[in-house]
A and B are shown apart, each in its own frame.
Chain A
């Protein structure tokens, strides 16, 4: 009897795995074909969705898996974007090499910001990071750094071409580059969450006291989470600088930080695939809102956010997971 049960469990888990893979393959095929079928503008939009998805993934690692709240991830995004732009324009560095550089710098900054954040939780941390994101554009405009940052005007970044030999336009190439980076980042995040480090991060979120008693260094994992989260968002920022070809202080206001957070909550906190849904929401819904009423776009966007929270307090993850279960039951 026990043996039968085991066999059943094994076969059903194989079916789950199978259906998951088949879903993944369908999505991947769609993602690979899309840039050849769609208009240039939509390819650009999809690239931006992927970039925001990376940033949301980073925020999710901090908020969803470590339980620390941040309203200031726009600052990491800005830091990554400026790192990439300055390295390309002033340092003559290859654009691809700026991504790891932005990751490292944002990791360090995140780790350092994580130190004061250790003493704060909940609403206090939200306030401190809120202040960080409000102050970011002002710091970027500082005249002391103007020769490097371009001050209020910002920096224009040269658009990279597709590597010679590939039959791709520059936009398609950037899309595939972003797709590759985001898949890599997603894979790293999934494995990180499943690893020993991931368990430590979650234990700190669920019960810091018990985690400490079990020998988890709470302070270390909290600052580490800030660092990793910063690195993810910084890489997203660097990609955005390359794709948008422009960085300026007023692109990194409070609105950006809030967008990333809204994307996280819409996608579902603590659910990694939600990043892509959240990113689509924050990019597409404002456009839809503008289509409904130009003057009232902000109000329509706000109403949509509030309605979504009233209907689905844990974001898109609830219906998507429900459909996934139905699909798996059907596939079995």
Chain B
């Protein structure tokens, strides 16, 4: 029972990471209808930015806010410079662009900050959360921040005019344009928000996995699995999906003898394929009806 509780807590803690990444993926998916394969690399780059600022002597929270703001601007810039010109191009061309972006960011992080793992500070220390033996302060903070982001996003999309306009632009760009929504600006905002959420996720993950240019690849796959499990179009679903993937990963690794550490990535593959085959819209995604 002790082992079980411990694994559940560990699963929830890594689930919080996956939930963040899944949330960022869903943001871009909602804005442009594409899955951003460079999301992990964007988050890593943002994390390096905050690390650099801390090296220069900036306090933690200042670096945190500055990195998120810079990432927001960077995300909008990437959309405007790289993706706006090819908005009408085929899915394949766009995927190649994402891959190109991934290569550029990964290589840049490695070039500027080299490939050695760096420890990353956490403002809360690594001591256990009082009252819970199995959960560290940092993990608890991570879950709290994920929940906070989700609430803020929900309010943003539900109650602000910009949020509503973004939804309209994603749902039906032509009609949105006709009623005066600036669709291109909304898409750029979606990119900015995704980059910002990615930055938050990266900064929270870095103390656990150590900072290095490739830290996100495995996490990205779980993030994908979480986003698919929750339904690609639903932010709440993405968060639930992320936590579930964390739980499944830890429990399967502990209790199914053949799986262990060797097949951890394969679990993500299995989750993605099973969800896509059994329920492609995920847990909370809207059902797609096709007119014939």
Contacts and interface: CB of A to CB of B under 8 A. Distances in A.
A124 interface: yes
Contact of A134 (B90, B104, B269): B269
A264 B111 CA distance: 29
A111 B99 CA distance: 27
A295 B111 contact: yes
B103 A299 contact: yes
Interface string A127-161: 11011101100110111100000000000000000
Interface string B40-54: 000000000000000
A264 B99 CA distance: 14
Interface residues of B, number: 46
Interface stretch (A181-189, A231-239, A301-309): A301-309
A142 B103 CA distance: 28
Q: Dominant SS at the B interface?
A: helix
Interface string B91-115: 1110111011111101110110000
Interface residues of A, number: 47
B97 A63 contact: no
Contact of A139 (B90, B266, B280): B266
Contact of B100 (A126, A127, A141, A303): A303
Contacts of A141: 262
Interface string A299-330: 11111111001100110000000000000000
Interface of A: 63, 69, 71, 116, 119-120, 122-124, 126-128, 130-132, 134-135, 138-139, 141-144, 209, 254, 258, 261-262, 264-265, 269, 295-306, 309-310, 313-314
A131 B272 contact: yes
A302 B104 contact: yes
A325 to B, nearest CB: 23
B97 to A, nearest CB: 6
Contact of A116 (B106, B111, B217, B273): B273
Contacts of B86: 309-310, 313
Contacts of B124: none
A122, A131, A269, A299: most-surrounded residue (chain B CB, <10 A): A131
A152 B173 CA distance: 49
Interface in B265-282: 265-266, 268-269, 272-273, 276-277, 280
